[in-house]
Chains A and B, each alone.
Chain A
Amino acid sequence: MDANLETAQNTSVVRRNLERLYLVSGWLAATCIGLICLLVLIQVSLNAIDRISGLLTGTAIGLTIPSYADFTGFFLAAASFLALAYTLRQGEHIRVTLFLSHCRPKVQHLLDVWGLLMAGGVTLYFSWYTFLLVRESYLYHDLSPGMIAVPIWIPQSAMLLGLIVLAIALIDGLVSTILNGSASVNTEATEHPPCQK
């Protein structure tokens, strides 16, 4: 087989798997948001049943999902971080494109590289210290304060995972920008979808 063709195929396999990684973590995040809604709805229904039974029998049963506020918070953190890479790929993180869009293409390209370098650096640094945080929580058996004490490293790992996928997406964007001369990250973010802001 032609060596060039082989590399092209290899890169497209890598490309496909990377895109799948971003998409899967995006859907994981969406699932977390679905779960938040479900959890809160169940709690609201339990409250309602409680109130009605309180009116009927004079004593509330005290139905409640233990630590549901804690769990909601954990799902929210997981959703926010797991969606980072996917949101980046979709060009939905806000940036100021006012000056960028008036630059010559060559300058724009340089600024893209600079932005991805800076963001990638910050994300790697952030991931490393989040890793240390998770490790510390694990070693010291830190628990969440609620009725159901969850080892805090479990929800924190979702944050770490999201940051690592974001770091991969930024490095991916940096490599493609340098190789292809244009970012595979969607830089056409001036087009603002109506539901967003």
Chain B
Amino acid sequence: MVIVVFKDELIEELKKKVEKWEKECVQEELKRHPERQKEFKTLSGIPVKRVYTPLDVQHLDYFKDLGLPGEYPFTRGIHTTMYRGRFWTMRQFAGYGTAEQTNQRFKYLLKEGETGLSMAFDFPTIIGLDSDHPMAVNEIGICGVAVDTLADMEIIFDGIPLDKVTTSMTINAPTPVLLSMYIAVGEKQGVPMHKLGGTVQNDALKEFIAQKSYVFPPEPAVKLVTDVIEFCVKNVPKWNPISISGYHIREAGATAVQELAFTIADGIAYVEAMLERGMEVDEFAHRLSFFFASHNDFFEEIAKFRAARRMWARIMKERFGAKKPRSMWLRFHTQTSGVALTAQQPENNIIRVTIQALAAVLGGTQSLHTNSMDEAWALPSEKAVRIALRTQQIIAHESGVANVVDPLAGSYYVEWLTDKMEEEAMKYIDKIDSMGGMIEAVKKGFPQREIAESAYRFQKEVDEKKRIIVGVNEYIDEEEKLEIPLLRVDPEVVRVQLARLKKVKESRDNERVERLLGELRRAAERNENVMPYVLNAVKAYATLGEIMGVLKEVYGEYQELIIF
């Protein structure tokens, strides 16, 4: 049954009508008034027509391609009631300075109404270095919170009951360590593992492609990813042990189509890796989650989210033979695009974020972070982050869009574009398959090259004014003065953090730490799941750097590919 129910004769009549309209009315108008551009395209470069009609969605079938919310292929949403049941989680990425400061910011955001925590770590922590490492000292606490040992984690969650909140941690290679710390904090609070809810990003492949906070080479990195997934499926069942990310891929310069394709391809690689470990698809697939960006091209983003759900459902069912509906759900978190925000006239960013957030909601996201207007200058100030949070709250409570499930379904344009994005993304996925899968494609540099090309092309378009960015290449304020408060990280952070680290190392049982690190090394060498060993080491106050050091010795370190 097609989306639009028209009898064949009416279709023919419509075809003739559209032709006539193009030839007569449109041409007349164009003579008076040419269109702004010769060709119109989405941000990804997909050409879009003047108008879409039932003719453009003739090939789509309501049952096969759309379904109802909560029904395969889940194009219209993974839940039946979506936001009528519960709003998306409002989860603002936060963290900077010392554990105490981050604890304060978490409490502030919870008080202002956010419904989930999201944790940002500083760069040394992100790549597994302790604060006292020579390369770390300049970057302690500057773009996220510094975490060296369990002691820091305990302070971060002081007064925050882990059975009452869910926490997303943006951490990749050091995931086993940070997750273990969170579990240990929970235990100290009296919350057992199986009650903990949250997410770890834990997506190694996109590190090689985009975020570049890799540590280990591809194969061991993926092995550690699956260690965490397996451990959580068995012991921390409410946890999302991976957030397969497109956000960073998009921010690095990919188009929406590439973001969609590479993320799904990464997902396929992880499913295959888990199957190779001997697990059944329905044992773990329901715990895989995703993370996308939401960018400026409003309808393209909405179509992207819908296409993502449909693609994943089809791939899980047809390619991997999943039987349980939950295994086919593409659950995702969204962050509005950072790179789309400008340094010039930063107040304008509030508007950009609103449009992007709206697209994410109309696209059916499960959880959302909205960027602050000072994104291009510094970490969010209190004032800026509150506005960002209010943006979500206003959309939720005042705009009405959350009261109907998938309200844009049936729009000729949106349905056509959803289908088009799936088609374009599948071309990439087929290509990656022919290369031997995403891990091979990453080693060959394929996604990296595509992204570098798109990034360069975009910048040229902006420089040539083929793409207008308000305040940057048009509507510029030459005399502009920055009038918003900026967050500054207190340099005291360094002293505090180093002092704490020193104290922990002195007051712990160092022999025990040595022994447990040795057990970890042997387990890693024997190719066992490292999680239980990391958890033990963490509880004994082994440092992040020490644990990562052991793993680096066993697995080696990644060498960047040279691609522009």
**A and B: partners?**
no
